[in-house]
Every structure is written in C-alpha cells, then in structure tokens.
Amino acid sequence: MTNPLMHQNERTEWFTHDRFGLFIHWGLYSLGARHEWLKSREFMTTEQYDKYFKRFDPDLYDPELWAEAASNAGMKYFVITTKHHEGFCLWDSKLTDYTAVHSPAGRDLLRPMVDAFRKRNMKTGLYYSLLDWHHPDYTVDVKHPLRYNPEFVQQDGTRQFQRYVDYMFGQTRELLTGYGPVDLMFLDFSIPPEEGFAGKGKNEWQSEKFVNMVRELQPNILLNDRLEVAGDITTPEQYMPKEWVKVGGRPVVWEACHTFSGSWGYYRDEESWKSVDMLIKMLIDSVSKGGNLLLNVGPTGRGEIDERALERLQGIGEWMKRHNRSIYGCTAAPEGVKAPDDCRFTYNPKTNRLYLHMFSWPFKSIHVSGLAGRIEYAQLLNDASEIKMKQGAKASSMAAGALSEGRDADTVTLSIPVKKPNAAVPVIELFLKPGAFA
C-alpha cells in the first residue's frame, strides 16, 4: 500500500499540512481592471501603460483586513505577486524606479502585508515573475506585448539579456534578505519557443544557479516547478487534476491554483464567478487527491478585496470553521478505499480518521465498501452527532449469495438523517480502529 506521507519531507511538512492558501495578484493592471495580461493582450507600449503607473494610489489599502479575511476563511499561507509580468514592483527595490515607492502610492506595499499575515500565523509566499515587460534588456518572446512591433523586435540586437538576469537575481536577493523568513517562492514561468520566437527556460533564467542562490539565502524555502528545474511543488493551474499529480510516474507534492472568476488581477466586468459551494468542493477534491488549493483574489486599485471575493471567503470560512479537521493534516485515503458516488474521502494518518464528504446528499443510507470491521465510531462533523452504522452482511438473515439492505461482507452502511445538515458539504468523520490501515 502507498504510504500517504511518503511524498513529504521535513521541509514540505507545513505545506502539506496547511493545504489552503491565498494567492494575491495586485499591481498596475488592477487599474485597467480587465485582466493582468492587458498590456500584452492589447499590445501596449510602456508609454501607453504608464497611465496606470502615474495613477496607482491605493488609498484604502489595509493589509490587516486582507489577512483577517484570509485567516477567517481558514487559509494558512499567502502568496503575493511582488512583481508580475508587467514588471512593476510592490516593494522598495533599489534596482529600479518602477516600484510602488515611486508611484503615487509612495511607499513599500509589501512590508506591511507580510507583517499583517505573519501576525496571524500565516506563512509567507512571494510570487516573482520571470517575465518582465518593462525591463529594457528583456528580449521579445511570444508573450511580449510588442511582439508584433517590428521596430521593437529589431532592437533585440542591442538588448543584453544577461543584464536582465542579473536584475532578476538581484531583486530576488532583495526579497529574500529584506523581508524576514520567506516560506515559499512562486516563480512564473518558462516559455516554450513559438511563432519563430526563441523560448525562455532553465538556460535563459540560469535556473540552477538561481535555485542555489535562493536556497543559500533561505535554506527552508519551498520552490515551485516553473523554472524548468525540479522544484518542491508542482503547480497545476486552473484545472482539477483527475488523480494525485505525478511527475515521471511518481506522486509529488502539488498545489492547484485557481481564481474566483477566471482572471487573476481585478476584473471589474467578469461574470464567471464560482459559487461558495463549488469552491469548497474544489478544496476538498484537491485534498482528496493529496494536493493543496491556492485560491486567488485580485484586489482593486484602491487596495480593497472587493465584495464578491469577500462574500466567497466568508462562505468558505463558515464551512471551514466546523470542517477544517477534514482539511488540515489530511491527504488522500489509503489505497483501496474508494469513495461512494458523489463523495470524496480525505484521511488524517496521524489521528487515524477518515472524512467522508458528501457532494450530494443521498436518501437515508450511504454505503461504503472496503471498510467493514475497520470503523470504531462515526459522527457528523458539523455538530458531532452520532451516525449509526451497520458493518458487513447479515449472513443469518440472508439467502445464500443475496445482499441484505444492499450490503455485502465488505460494506459499511451509514444511516444518515433525511434532511441534509446545514453545511455546504456535510462531512462524516470516521474514527478508524487502531491499525486499520497500518
């Protein structure tokens, strides 16, 4: 049997325990309010894009409120875009003037954020874009805003990419030496060659050297997998993996990142917002496959998390308050334990409990195969009310080979109330017998 803990090591332990984090995409694109890629999508020059730099003035920014909303939602870590592809820096970088300090914001926006989240015992993650659509030595690739501008492309001959790489190393050094312990770094991303443009990957980023520097500065840091060298965390984006994510056939530590509505940056007119129920199910589904969920907010240009996002965070928090036991410290169920229809299992190997999440509420009974003789006690998690159960077939009252109440020898039947408990996704906590899955 697969040991559910075998993919972990000491460094990733907090991460696979915590399971749920907040991603924050915040930058000049928040003012455009129509996707964080707008500079590239609309083929804008830096001069055209400057209207945002000149007006970035988040007067309502209060990171204490952000941290509070995330913590109340049950999130345990956060990842902030210190610099996104547009190149704008939220911190006081000494290597460029393209920072919040030199915009109307007039201050380092990163430091108070890091302080606010740490105060709530949340771990710190820094996102840093490898792409940079502002740096003069960043060469044109298939994602660049000016890829169809022949004059700009031609000037690539005069660009010295090494200078950009030095800048990237230097900025990372600033982030990892100036802001206390950084638990995680999310580097984004490597570009395959396309449309006649060269790609950018581990050779261009000098990934190995980069990783060595990062680990030297912050030995306990976790890195994602987008530098094209093996990272600690594999990061599927905006899709639900169908099983435990594998690399080279081996299950890995993974984290899916998702948005509320499609884009990462604040998008005023987007209508595709996911419901609280759907988001909770996405979290459960990820944990049931051994993964984490990093859920994104795109604060406004004035510095607020808008009401649609807040409402969802609150809804998730309402569920997490009573059900976080089925998330923290949990992972996929032991091999061979198959969830019934419309259900997901998570499993806490330390407390030896299994959690049955019911995505739709069935009538009266729920049958779980593979668990007969292994459960000591069962209860609903929202109110700790006992759930009665019957284990195995009733041999004495059965005709040979027939089933009793739909049960066979291997099945446990849980008797549930007709009325669905008042929880977005009800959970039954199953206390396993010692050694049930040793």
Residues that bind ligand GLC (CB under 6 A): 25, 36-37, 188-189, 237, 257, 264
Ramachandran assignment for 239, one of left (phi > 0), alpha (psi -120 to 50 degrees), beta (any other): beta
**Shortest separation between residue 290's beta carbon and ligand GLC, angstroms:** 20
CA nearest neighbour of 316 among 330, 332, 327, 329? 327
**Shortest separation between residue 143's beta carbon and ligand GLC, angstroms:** 8
Can you say whether the dihedral through the CA atoms of 223, 225, 228, 231 is positive or negative?
positive
Closer Cβ to ligand GLC, 25 or 374, answer by number: 25
Q: Which residues contact 226 (CB under 8 A, 6 or more apart)?
A: 130, 186, 187, 188, 189, 190, 235
Closer Cβ to ligand GLC, 267 or 355, answer by number: 267
Closer Cβ to ligand GLC, 25 or 407, answer by number: 25
Residue that has been written with the tokens 């449309």 in this structure? 195
Q: What CA dihedral angle connects 60, 63, 68 and 69, to 10 degrees?
A: 60
For residue 83, the cross-strand partners are 89, 128
**Shortest separation between residue 3's beta carbon and ligand GLC, angstroms:** 30
Closer Cβ to ligand GLC, 39 or 323, answer by number: 39
**Shortest separation between residue 130's beta carbon and ligand GLC, angstroms:** 10
State the Cα–Cα distance between residues 291 and 284, nearest whole angstrom. Answer: 9
Closer Cβ to ligand GLC, 183 or 429, answer by number: 183
**Shortest separation between residue 23's beta carbon and ligand GLC, angstroms:** 7
**Shortest separation between residue 266's beta carbon and ligand GLC, angstroms:** 13
**Shortest separation between residue 192's beta carbon and ligand GLC, angstroms:** 13
Element (H, E) at 389: strand 388-391
Contact 408, 397 (CB under 8 A): no
State the Cα–Cα distance between residues 380 and 323, nearest whole angstrom. Answer: 10
Closer Cβ to ligand GLC, 131 or 381, answer by number: 131
Closer Cβ to ligand GLC, 83 or 323, answer by number: 83
State the Cα–Cα distance between residues 134 and 162, nearest whole angstrom. Answer: 15
